[in-house]
Amino acid sequence: MNHLGTAALTAYATSITAANILTARYGLVPVAPGMLTTAGTFAAGAALLLRDVVQDTLGRAAVFAGIAAGAALTWATSPALAVASATAFLAAELADMAVYTPLRNRGWARAVLASNAVGAVVDTLLFLLLAGFPLTAAAVGGQLVGKLAWATLLPVAAVLTVRRWRRAVPRHSLGT
């Protein structure tokens, strides 16, 4: 059994659900001066990153299972939001996958950064439109700041830092 994959899939479906519950409860919130985002943007941004882990560990079919699970769990909170979210996530994940898959062999960080940029734009535009939020520069910009800066760049930088640190520290110091 692939424990990392199972954990990633669970976190993926949970992040989709959390994004929708937060958005249903709090709507638009400030993310930066003059920018708004849905309250669930950070969880949605995490989902974009987790999608890549799910694909790497369990395959593409598991990505779609995660979207379905997230939509099913959201349905109890808001059926309309569940439909908007599932549609936006599906389109965004297909776009993300189309970029991530061919770039993956050239390096994880490159693939994640490029695919999340594409996925974030698709998810943002479709979700705001389908969920009835305004397509304003403040809302679109805020969504992208949340998804790309906070939920993509920071985690990728953290992973790369840990990887560099692990390569720099002698193996015997790590207890191996």
pLDDT at 137: 93
Residue 148 pLDDT greater than 70, yes or no: yes
Bridge partners of residue 22, in order along the sequence: none
Block residue for tokens 């776009």: 95
10 Å CB burial of residue 172 (0-12, 13-18, 19+) is: exposed
**Strands (E) located in 27-135:** 28-32, 35-38
Beta bridge partners, 73, equal none
pLDDT (mean) for 67-74: 88
At 38 the pLDDT is 92
29: left (phi > 0), else alpha (psi -120 to 50), else beta? beta
Q: Tell me the longest C-alpha to C-alpha distance in the chain.
A: 56
Estimate the crossing angle of helix 137-144 against helix 108-131, to 10 degrees.
150
Structure tokens at 89: 């996530």
pLDDT at 176 over 60: no
- Domains in the chain, start-ordered, CATH in brackets? 3-174 (1.10.1760)
Amino acid identity of residue 74, one-letter, is T
**Cβ–Cβ contacts within 10 Å for residue 70, how many?**
25
170: confidence class by pLDDT, cuts 50, 70, 90: confident
Q: What pLDDT, on the 0 to 100 scale, is given for residue 93?
A: 84
Q: How far is CA 48 from CA 1, 54, 73, 139, in A?
A: 24, 10, 18, 19
Average pLDDT over residues 123-152: 90
Among the listed residues 78, 80, 50, the one whose alpha carbon sits nearest the alpha carbon of residue 65: 50
